[in-house]
């Protein structure tokens, strides 16, 4: 046995498809039906590891850590039986093997990062040559991924953390998609109706999804369904009223009430630029009419003239506008920065 890959760059003892998703590597004394190598006290093993010959032995390592040391005596419990519940990554190593010293800590980190989705089973081949024989390992480090008592993937030699994680990713179940995130992605993709339907379902479920109704109220308000938005907003849970979507919905509903005939306000401001009351009303009216940049600029100019006017009304009007536009709106970000500079000057 030596350290490293064979001369052809392959995987000694492994079938060429070892790193192909879904492939079942061929390993020396191990057939496709599982581990049937003599010396493991299993008798005739058919239909995979841990068949009728295991006597129903309970796994000793159940509930253990993410890294376990495996011997001939514990192989069945720690690898065979455990692999029926979670993926087991077998690391065949030796103290004299240089690449093993590099790979070992990397494997342990990956196992820790995956938080129990994979168990690392470390095998000292000098102390347990029978296990190395069963895998047909001719080089070390040799790493084999086991599922349901069968090898499904693996590699030889020291590999990078990203390589190992990519290999494991092919065999781990896909992460569950957060339904709220999925609904909001529909909105980002332009499927507003689909997003609203998904959010409504989440909001009206027996156990409502947090923020689903707040986002529903926001989207309804942003798309002109004001009456529906108001109904939904009134049902937002008290502990969600300070969330971004709830504040955006509230601000949009308030802004809707600011819709006025702009002509008289524009005339009043043209006549007296110092008329801050008219300036504020015009700024809010412009925002309500969808003339966002003009409205923000009017409110900002009022702040420049007198931040403390009418109990700080110019600043409060801008903050309400920021809420209505949402935290990611570029214009809101721009004018929030300008207001911050003004307040600090």
Q: Which residues of 1-28 are buried (b: 16+ CB within 10 A; e: fewer)?
A: eebeeeeeeebbbbbeebbeeebbbbbb
Mean pLDDT of 144-148: 95
In whole angstroms, give the CA distance from residue 283 to residue 277. Answer: 10
DSSP output for 2-39: EES--TTSS-TTS-TTTTSTT----BTTBBTTB---TT
pLDDT in tens, 273-322: 889 999 999 999 999 998 999 999 999 999 999 999 999 999 999 999 99
Tell the residue number behind the tokens 């971004």, with chain if given. Answer: 244
Q: Which numeric CATH code is attached to 179-256?
A: 1.25.40
Residue 44 has pLDDT above 70, yes or no: no
Residue 214 has pLDDT above 70, yes or no: yes
Specify the pLDDT at position 257: 86
51: confidence class by pLDDT, cuts 50, 70, 90: very low
- The answer to whether 116 touches 86, Cβ cutoff 8 Å, is yes
pLDDT in tens, 242-258: 999 999 999 999 988 88
> What percent of the chain stands above pLDDT 70?
81
Specify the pLDDT at position 321: 93
| Out of 45-59, 195-209, 278-292, least confident range | 45-59
Mean pLDDT of 74-97: 95
Specify the pLDDT at position 174: 77
Catalytic-role residue among 27, 79, 100, 203: 100
* 2-169 and 179-256 in the same fold: no
For the chain, give every domain's residue range: 2-169, 179-256, 262-344
Residue 26 has pLDDT above 50, yes or no: no
pLDDT in tens, 91-113: 999 999 999 999 999 999 999 99
Give 8-11's long-range contacts (Cβ < 8 A, gap of 24+): 11/154, 11/155, 11/156
Residue 10 has pLDDT above 60, yes or no: no
> What percent of the chain stands above pLDDT 90?
71
Residue 34 has pLDDT above 70, yes or no: no
Whether residue 97 lies in the annotated active site: yes
Q: Which numeric CATH code is attached to 262-344?
A: 1.25.40.10
Catalytic-role residue among 45, 97, 203, 265: 97
| Out of 2-11, 50-59, 77-86, 260-269, least confident range | 50-59
Q: pTM here? A: 0.49
Q: Which numeric CATH code is attached to 2-169?
A: 3.40.30.10
Mean pLDDT of 4-26: 35
């Amino acid at each position: 046995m030596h350290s490293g890959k064979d001369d052809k760059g392959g995987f000694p003892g492994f079938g060429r498809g070892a790193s192909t998703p879904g492939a079942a590597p061929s390993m020396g004394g191990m057939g496709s039906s599982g581990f049937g190598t003599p010396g493991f006290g299993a008798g005739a093993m058919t239909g995979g590891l841990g068949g009728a010959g295991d006597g129903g032995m309970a796994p000793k390592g159940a509930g253990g850590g993410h890294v376990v040391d495996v011997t001939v005596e514990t192989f069945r419990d720690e690898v065979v039986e455990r692999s029926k519940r979670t993926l087991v990554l077998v690391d065949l190593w030796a103290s004299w093997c240089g690449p093993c010293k590099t790979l070992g800590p990397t494997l342990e980190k990956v196992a820790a990062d995956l938080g129990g989705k994979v168990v690392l089973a470390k095998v000292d081949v000098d102390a347990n040559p029978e296990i190395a024989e069963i895998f047909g390992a001719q080089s070390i480090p040799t790493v084999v991924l086991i599922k349901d008592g069968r090898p499904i993937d693996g590699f030889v030699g020291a590999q990078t953390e990203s390589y190992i994680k990519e290999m494991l990713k092919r065999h781990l179940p896909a992460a569950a998609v957060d339904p709220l995130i999925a609904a909001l992605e529909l909105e980002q993709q332009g499927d507003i109706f689909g997003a609203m339907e998904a959010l409504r379902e989440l909001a009206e479920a027996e156990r409502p999804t947090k923020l689903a109704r707040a986002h529903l109220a926001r989207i309804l308000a942003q798309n002109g369904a004001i009456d529906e938005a108001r109904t939904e907003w009134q049902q937002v849970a008290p502990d969600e009223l300070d969330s971004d979507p709830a504040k955006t919905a509230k601000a949009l509903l308030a802004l809707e009430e600011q819709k006025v005939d702009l002509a008289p306000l524009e005339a009043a401001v043209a006549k007296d630029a110092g008329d801050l009351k008219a300036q504020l009303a015009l700024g809010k009216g412009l925002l309500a009419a969808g003339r966002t940049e003009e409205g923000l600029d009017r409110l900002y100019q009022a702040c420049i003239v007198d931040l403390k006017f009418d109990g700080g009304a110019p600043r409060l009007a801008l903050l309400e506008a920021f809420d209505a536009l949402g935290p990611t709106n570029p214009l809101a970000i721009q004018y929030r920065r300008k207001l911050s500079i003004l307040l600090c000057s």
